[in-house]
């Protein structure tokens, strides 16, 4: 028997306009039925969110009261993390050991924004008029359309939902049609936490009748999107209809740079985590290994040996280190790009052949592209477990190659030279630079990118300000009547 999920609109759970199958990537079999939201459901969700901004049940709460609701939601997420993790593993193929730890940590993001809710302050302006006072107030910007992909969706929604609710906004959250189960289940926690009807609405559906309708809706004030550049272009075009503010957290082709003076074993372990954790399906995946030529052979040999020992298995087994890709379409794309790259001159060092087993598995793959630094696998974001190796001889060459793609989300630099670390940090064009580590995240640390990796920042204290608008208040303090504007003095 397949599991059943529902939309969450205006505080009520309901079936969609239709249903669609959700496939377990580990087996290739249907495991659940998902509700499809179309134009009517989207319009009702936005209307509910818009009305919530007018109702005293939400608009009348103090900032501290909003914070208490977020604290309660955080506690519920922490308690429900094992079940949410199982849903995510079944729906997306991410291994249970990763979904369990990641979702438990998501609660900390809601606690962080719960604490910020009553610390959004305006300011007194030292105005240049003796009989006037002026100050500013931070107010919620309005209805938020949050659109997130299937990977790390509870985390990627937390950095939107948390600050938006802390600021007093309402939200329509669209889960990806590929793996929406965790967010549809998250709706039950929102309901249990006691958020007023319409404040949080959670839907899923397909592009033209769901995503496009939501991102262009005239009552949406801010579209917060995480996903790929092509979909982002559609969203930017759609926002011309409502002139909504748009923030984009997109993909990357992140360089992982290893100098000869680095701790090589530490760098090997970090590189494995950077590209093969989550089966490479991460926007910050360190998919380009730039390694100093003098240590390239030794480093790559260690890397290949470690990759060959990775335990591939069913994602719901805690012993499994590496699971399937989320979709068959993604695997087919990777197969095609790897094949073209080999034709272009890339040398296959590990993986590269689809595993003979049920589900959407593709092995950890390493390609030496030192002689073909412009190969497709080097320049294309694959969103999968493919590492392209390129060597360099000088620091300047490492910088040039690191900045040789239109992306700019993240980078890793491994060196024990402190001065070099500072030079590299300044020279690399990316929103995040990890020094002698990789994939570290925190509610306190903003993340985002440049170029095709998007614009805007998520997480950190300033993220809440993106969900506010500034109101300026003027007060005339003189007891004298205002002069007649048509009497000349």
Element (H, E) at 455: strand 454-455
The residue-averaged pLDDT of 315-338 equals 96
Q: Are strands 407-408 and 450-451 parallel, antiparallel or unpaired?
A: antiparallel
- Report pLDDT for 293: 98
- Report pLDDT for 1: 59
**In this structure, how many other beta carbons lie within 10 angstroms of the beta carbon of residue 455?**
15
Distance of CA 180 to the CA centre of its chain: 15
- Report pLDDT for 116: 97
Residue 465: CA count within 13 A, CB half-sphere: 10
Distance CA 61, CA 45 (A): 21
The residue-averaged pLDDT of 345-351 equals 97
Q: Are strands 18-24 and 407-408 parallel, antiparallel or unpaired?
A: unpaired
pLDDT over 90 at 3, yes or no: no
pLDDT over 80 at 203, yes or no: yes
- Report pLDDT for 488: 75
Q: What is the pLDDT of residues 365-414, one digit of tens each?
A: 999 999 999 999 999 999 999 999 999 999 999 999 999 999 999 999 99
Cβ atoms of residues 415 and 399 within 8 Å: no
Percent of the chain past pLDDT 70, that is, above it, reads 100
DSSP letters spanning 2-33: -EE--EEETTEEE--SEEEEEEETTTTEEEEE
Q: What are phi and psi of 255, to 5 degrees?
A: -80, 140
Question: How much is the pTM?
Answer: 0.95
The residue-averaged pLDDT of 288-304 equals 98
Q: Which of 88, 178, 249, 381 is an active site residue?
A: 249
- Of the two residues 9 and 483, the one the predictor is more confident about is 9
The residue-averaged pLDDT of 361-366 equals 98
Q: What is the pLDDT of residues 57-76, one digit of tens each?
A: 999 999 999 999 999 999 99
249 has catalytic annotation: yes
- Of the two residues 488 and 140, the one the predictor is more confident about is 140
Angle, helices 264-276 vs 296-308, to 10°: value is 50
Q: What is the pLDDT of residues 418-460, one digit of tens each?
A: 999 999 999 999 999 999 999 999 999 999 999 999 999 999 9
Q: What is the pLDDT of residues 116-168, one digit of tens each?
A: 999 999 999 999 999 999 999 999 999 999 999 999 999 999 999 999 999 99
Alpha carbon distances (Å) from 260 to 275, 354, 423:
21, 34, 16
Q: What is the pLDDT of residues 208-231, one digit of tens each?
A: 999 999 999 999 999 999 999 999
Nearest Cα residue to 32 out of 82, 100, 90, 85: 90
pLDDT over 90 at 2, yes or no: no
Q: What is the pLDDT of residues 97-119, one digit of tens each?
A: 999 999 999 999 999 999 999 99
Distance CA 98, CA 269 (A): 16
pLDDT over 80 at 489, yes or no: no
Distance CA 96, CA 86 (A): 7
Nearest Cα residue to 26 out of 362, 361, 385: 361
What average pLDDT does the structure give for the chain?
96
What domains appear along the chain, each with residue ranges and CATH number? 3-250+453-473 (3.40.605.10), 255-435 (3.40.309.10)
- Report pLDDT for 19: 96
Radius of gyration of the chain (CA): 25
Distance CA 229, CA 209 (A): 20
């Amino acid at each position: 028997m397949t599991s059943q999920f529902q939309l969450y609109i205006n505080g009520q759970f309901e079936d969609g306009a239709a249903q669609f199958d959700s496939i377990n990537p580990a087996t290739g079999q249907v495991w659940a039925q998902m509700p499809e939201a179309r134009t009517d459901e989207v319009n009702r969700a936005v209307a509910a969110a818009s009305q919530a901004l007018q109702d005293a049940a939400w608009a009348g709460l103090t900032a501290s009261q909003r914070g208490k609701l977020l604290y309660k939601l955080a506690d519920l997420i922490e308690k429900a993390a094992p079940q949410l993790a199982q849903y995510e593993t079944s729906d997306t193929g991410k291994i249970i050991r990763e979904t369990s730890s990641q979702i438990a940590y998501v609660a900390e993001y809601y606690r962080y924004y719960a604490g910020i809710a009553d610390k959004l302050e305006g300011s007194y302006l030292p105005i240049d008029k003796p009989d006037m006072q002026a100050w500013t107030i931070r107010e919620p910007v309005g209805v938020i359309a949050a659109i997130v992909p299937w990977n790390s969706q509870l985390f990627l929604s937390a950095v939107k939902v948390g600050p938006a609710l802390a600021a007093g906004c309402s939200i329509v959250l669209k889960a990806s049609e590929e793996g929406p189960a965790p967010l549809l289940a998250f709706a039950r926690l929102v309901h249990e936490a006691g958020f007023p009807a319409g404040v949080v609405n959670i839907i899923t559906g397909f592009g033209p009748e769901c995503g496009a309708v939501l991102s262009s809706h005239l009552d949406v004030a801010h579209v917060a999107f995480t996903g790929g550049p092509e979909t982002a272009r559609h969203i930017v075009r759609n926002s011309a209809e409502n002139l909504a503010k748009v923030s984009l957290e997109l993909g990357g082709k992140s360089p992982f740079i290893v100098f000869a003076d680095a701790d090589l074993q530490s760098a090997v372990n970090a590189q494995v985590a950077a590209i093969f954790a989550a089966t490479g399906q991460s926007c910050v995946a360190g998919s380009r290994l730039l390694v100093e030529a003098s240590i390239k052979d030794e480093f790559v040999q260690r890397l290949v040996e470690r990759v060959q020992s990775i335990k591939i298995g069913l994602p719901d087994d805690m012993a499994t280190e590496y699971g399937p890709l989320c979709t068959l379409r993604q695997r087919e794309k990777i197969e095609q790009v790897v094949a073209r790259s080999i034709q272009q001159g890339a040398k296959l060092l590990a993986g590269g052949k689809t595993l003979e087993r049920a589900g959407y598995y593709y092995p950890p793959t390493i390609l030496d592209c030192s002689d073909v630094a412009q190969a497709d696998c080097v320049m294309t974001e694959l969103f999968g477990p493919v590492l392209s190796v390129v060597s360099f001889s000088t620091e300047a060459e490492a910088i040039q190659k690191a900045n040789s793609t239109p992306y700019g989300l993240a980078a890793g630099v491994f060196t024990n030279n402190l001065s070099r670390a500072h030079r590299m940090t300044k020279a690399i064009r990316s929103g995040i630079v990890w020094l002698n580590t990789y994939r570290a995240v925190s509610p306190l640390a903003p993340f985002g990118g440049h170029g095709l990796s998007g614009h805007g920042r998520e997480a950190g204290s300033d993220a809440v300000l993106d969900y506010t608008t500034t109101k300026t208040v003027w007060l005339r303090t003189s007891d004298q009547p205002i002069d007649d504007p048509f009497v000349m003095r």
